[in-house]
Structure 1
């Protein structure tokens, strides 16, 4: 089955695993399917040294790791992080850590988790709480801003 983004709840309920990880070579214009059978892949980025791809698999609430360079090259997913909510987009920070939006409806929940920061090994470094503010129903991407105050 194939779903549109607005049909995410049907996709989650169905247990669909029709997601794919693709590689597109801009020079040769060749598209290659690297992995099939993913459960709602929803975010992907490169790590700092470009040796692996963390991929958000929303239905399983996991971040998977795909090695793409070095001795461990494999397109078989390896576990990277298990989360308590559906991961959305992943962004790599300049220090090599990853910000992961937790794209789940925020109403009527005990813990209002909005995002997590993961290190390069998938360990949770920081959790961003929404403090039950209803500014957003859903969160799909997170940006970090540093404020510098000069005295």
Structure 2
């Protein structure tokens, strides 16, 4: 039996929604262009979207590149100097929902969308489950986390190394999301360290050289019931805002001065 449903249907809420990703969508990454007010959304199933400053429904920008579908979107960020949007795909393959993906899958991709030309292009391919990305405050590089590769790559946008990539940090186990801290050259990174008895999460701050300058490893950043694992952290005005994969709230953690 064929079920007709759209993202406004009640079927898209609660535990059923993830089973209907192709209809309901799943916003996995968001980022704001602070100059224009446009809110960009990386929908895991339905592609790249944008919401105007006035709000309302999201408008699809792209769900394919050169005729090939863009699948499993995750991380997203906006270059604060140019407005160019960078976003990642975990994998180019299609797998059943809630199933383990093959460890050898290295089809993750970093894309960019230029609002001035309205064109999406591929920046990096062959990534090992690219979950997050963040552009530096001066727009010189973009960082990409490889969840299964256990490292973070840096792709140079400007300067003498423009167009090349390199290792940025190879010490963080299973890095997931990356968020730039305001106008600084520092980044919060959430990692998920898997053990036989579950997942132990931590969050660290990396400077522009990939060195750890602060961490929350001494503080539990996941809920006591173990259900609402942290999806990302974002710092603003002395507080850390903590999002979860399944929780219906945002946690706020007051930071002490370093």
Q: How far apart are residue 134 of structure 1 and its match?
A: 2.3
Contact 2:178 2:190 in 1 (8 A): yes
Q: How many residues align?
A: 144
Q: How far apart are residue 139 of structure 1 and its match?
A: 2.0
Q: Which of the numbers 232, 237, 251 marks the counterpart of 1:141?
A: 232
1:93, 1:139 → 2: CA distance?
Answer: 18
Q: TM-score, normalised by structure 1?
A: 0.79
Corresponding position of 2:144: 55
RMSD between aligned residues: 2.8
Q: Which of the numbers 72, 79, 83 marks the counterpart of 2:167?
A: 79
Deviation larger for 17-26 or 100-109: 100-109
Q: How far apart are residue 82 of structure 1 and its match?
A: 1.4
Where do 5+ consecutive residues of structure 1 fail to align? none
The answer to which structure, 1 or 2, has the higher relative contact order (CA under 8 A, 6+ apart) is: 1
1:115-137 Cα offsets, whole Å, 9 max, x none, are 11101100011221244862544
Contact 2:189 2:205 in 1 (8 A): yes
Where do 5+ consecutive residues of structure 2 fail to align? 1-91, 241-253
Q: Do residues 88 (structure 1) and 185 (structure 2) align? A: no
2:195, 2:94 → 1: CA distance?
Answer: 22
Corresponding position of 1:115: 203
1:28, 1:55 → 2: CA distance?
Answer: 24
**SS of equivalent to 2:148:** helix
Q: Which has the higher strand share?
A: 2
Q: How far apart are residue 93 of structure 1 and its match?
A: 0.8
2:230, 2:195 → 1: CA distance?
Answer: 9
2:223, 2:117 → 1: CA distance?
Answer: 48
Contact 2:180 2:188 in 1 (8 A): yes
**SS of equivalent to 2:100:** helix
**SS of equivalent to 2:209:** coil
Q: How far apart are residue 66 of structure 1 and its match?
A: 0.2
Corresponding position of 1:66: 155
